Amino acid sequence: MTLEEKLGQLTQLVPDQPEFAPALEKGLVGSILNSGGVEQVNQMQRGLKVPLLVGYDVIHGYRTIFPIPLAIASSWDPQLAELSAGVAAKEARAAGIHWTFAPMVDIARDARWGRIAEGAGEDPVLGSAMAAAYVRGFQSNGVLACAKHYAAYGAAEAGRDYNTVEISERTLREIYLPPFRSAVDAGVATLMSAFESLNGVPASANHHLLTDILRKEWKFKGFVVGDWEAVAELIHHGIAASNQEAAKKAITAGVDMDMRDNSYSTLAAAVRKGELSPAVVDRAVRRVLRIKDQAGLLDHPTSNESDALSLDRDAARRVAQRSMVLLKNDNDLLPLPKSGRKIAVVGPLADSKHDMLGPWSAQGKAEECVTVREVIRDSVAVDDADVIIAVLGETREMSGEAASRASIDLPGDQEKFLESLVATGKPVVLVVMSGRPLAISWAAAHVPAIVQAWFLGTESGHALADVLFGDVNPSGKLPVTIPRATGQVPIYYNHLPTGRPPDPKDKYTSKYLDTEIGPLYPFGFGLTYTKFEYSDIRVTPQAASATIKNAGNREGEEIVQMYIGDPVASVSRPVKELKGFQRVALQPGESKRVEFTITRHDLEFWSDHGWIAEPGEFKVWIGPSSASGLEGTFQLH
């Protein structure tokens, strides 16, 4: 290969940009992003020395749209993530796509950030389980995965997209990196380097992240693609004066492929002038070719031009049923009886097919989505109703990339509308559709039943009706904290203790003057139509267990959570951290002993000397959320 051809392998372009056609003709493109379908891709592949790798954002479905990743995380069921990724991969592969820019594994603690919708929420253990599951789902069904955005993109200051990140090495290691590590251990083929600057060094030129940690510590063998024009943006970040300087910094730090901006074409001159070692280019090319080979592309450059697959509505519905969280259900208002009650289904999201798709919907078609109003066909007007279902929340454009909000309240006049519904005196069920937790304090105080539905995809309406009428017992739990007010964010359960823990009776403690202490709904919280009782916790340094009983009168599933805390250490440790979870299905009256293993790593924290566990007392909680549960202790010697 010539030097130019090698750099071509490191260049990803979009077919509709002007540089694309001439570059393709000369064999100077290695990958494309977004394609016009399998026939067009096959045509491009013919005659190329090295086939193109075709990438696309297949985030929560290709044509069959699944719930958004934040919703799937609410199921706490990695198998559902894997199932959804598998269906998406098969559909995408049939359309000639080899590579998806997913999973997005960024931890997010600030709901203003619109991209919280694309990930698994605020917790590294839940996030790691989901990350590995998506990787398996995509890659065992013929599509390469890409864990993004490496790293700590979710910690954007003030929740503003693309913004600066300043966090300690400990927070980086303990909170933001574990899902990436998990994706790497699951065999992810690629990673995407992020837009933001991390402690002053842009992630897309960050040797510490891309080489020291990713390559040397984690032994990652795949390749890294820079996010869209992130290489050229090193100029805006103020660490390069030209595209060539930006490209040199990025490739040297460990960005192997450059997305969209064609900056790597400037590297030929740098190599010839002796400013960049040809070995750096060869290293990146080898990584890209190895993955192309792994994908089978070198032997089979073209894809079958078979018919597109039909929608997998069953899978979409099954996943959606488990992706909702029941937040409130006073006097068992839900489930609603299937007959004998006149129901009004109202609100801007009751019948909006377009919004059901959520952000990042690939080739999903609004007309193929089912809304809840379509399913509850005999909806009446509010005046005639016995019960009102209000479907409120965000449009799909309000979350995802470049969709940060300064206020996470219900948008526009929706709260006033809700107040008017409650003022009728009729029972109101609030269904919240959103790409982020919303600060619904008024609703939590005045509405008897609330379902957090996020965006549920193609089968939204059916899945919602399944839960509202009790064919499915809701079992989801929050993967993120729901704040009382925007001003509380960032708010997350695994925070450090303060010297002055909040005390409503003591002014000089850590709290706000104008908002109650703590979240509206804590991480891990979610109700069901039955009742679970926890008893008899037993704890050793190697294991913890408790008995869970279904004390209600219908079958149900409980997500049992184990948290660990290290109350006295050489550095302040989070008040508690999730270390394990299990979904258990129980018949009425049935109980089960749920056991968790505790590993050495569960007790460790990041120190100047790497991971260490310090002897002393540890606390363990087993319970239904981060805010309640049975407590036990053990000594580590």
Q: Which residues of the chain form contacts with ligand NOJ (CB under 6 A)?
A: 33, 57, 101, 148, 227-228, 401
CB of 139 to ligand NOJ, least distance (A): 17
Q: 605 and 573 in contact (C-beta within 8 Å)?
A: yes
**The length of the chain, given as a count of residues:** 637
CB of 161 to ligand NOJ, least distance (A): 9
CB of 509 to ligand NOJ, least distance (A): 40
Q: How far apart are CA 624 and CA 326, in angstroms?
A: 13
In 3D space, the residue among 142, 536, 501, 544 whose CA is nearest the CA of residue 304 turns out to be 142
Q: 396 and 301 in contact (C-beta within 8 Å)?
A: no
Is 227 known to be catalytic? yes
* Strand ranges, E, within 176-262: 190-193, 197-198, 201-202, 223-226, 258-259
Shorter beta-carbon distance to ligand NOJ: residue 139 or 626: 139
Q: How far apart are CA 637 and CA 617, in angstroms?
A: 9
* 3-class state of residue 3 by DSSP: helix
* Helices of type H across 357-474: 372-375, 414-423, 441-446, 460-468
Shorter beta-carbon distance to ligand NOJ: residue 33 or 132: 33
Structure tokens at 368: 């193929």
Q: How far apart are CA 380 and CA 7, in angstroms?
A: 63
Structure tokens at 103: 């999973």
Q: How far apart are CA 351 and CA 356, in angstroms?
A: 9
Residues 6+ apart with CB under 8 A from 576: 493, 494, 563, 564, 565, 619, 621, 626
Long-range contacts for 598-602 (Cβ within 8 Å, ≥24 apart)? 598/540, 598/541, 598/542, 598/543, 598/544, 598/564, 602/564
* 3-class state of residue 159 by DSSP: helix
In the numeric block, the tokens 């407590």 are attached to 631
CB of 34 to ligand NOJ, least distance (A): 8
Q: 545 and 562 in contact (C-beta within 8 Å)?
A: no
Structure tokens at 486: 């925007």
CB of 284 to ligand NOJ, least distance (A): 19
Q: 484 and 520 in contact (C-beta within 8 Å)?
A: yes
CB of 54 to ligand NOJ, least distance (A): 13
Alpha-carbon dihedral of residues 144, 149, 150, 152, nearest 10 degrees? Answer: -150
Shorter beta-carbon distance to ligand NOJ: residue 152 or 372: 152
CB of 241 to ligand NOJ, least distance (A): 24
CB of 455 to ligand NOJ, least distance (A): 17
> Which is catalytic among the residues 57, 110, 123, 227?
227
**Which residue lies nearest ligand NOJ, judged by its C-beta?**
101
> Angle at CA 532, nearest 5°, toward 530 and 535?
165
What secondary structure letter does DSSP report for 521?
Answer: B
Alpha-carbon dihedral of residues 604, 606, 612, 614, nearest 10 degrees? Answer: -70
Q: 254 and 8 in contact (C-beta within 8 Å)?
A: no
In the numeric block, the tokens 């069901």 are attached to 528
Shorter beta-carbon distance to ligand NOJ: residue 150 or 220: 150
Structure tokens at 57: 């954002």
> Angle at CA 486, nearest 5°, toward 484 and 491?
70
In the numeric block, the tokens 């997209």 are attached to 161
Give catalytic residues, as residue numbers. 227
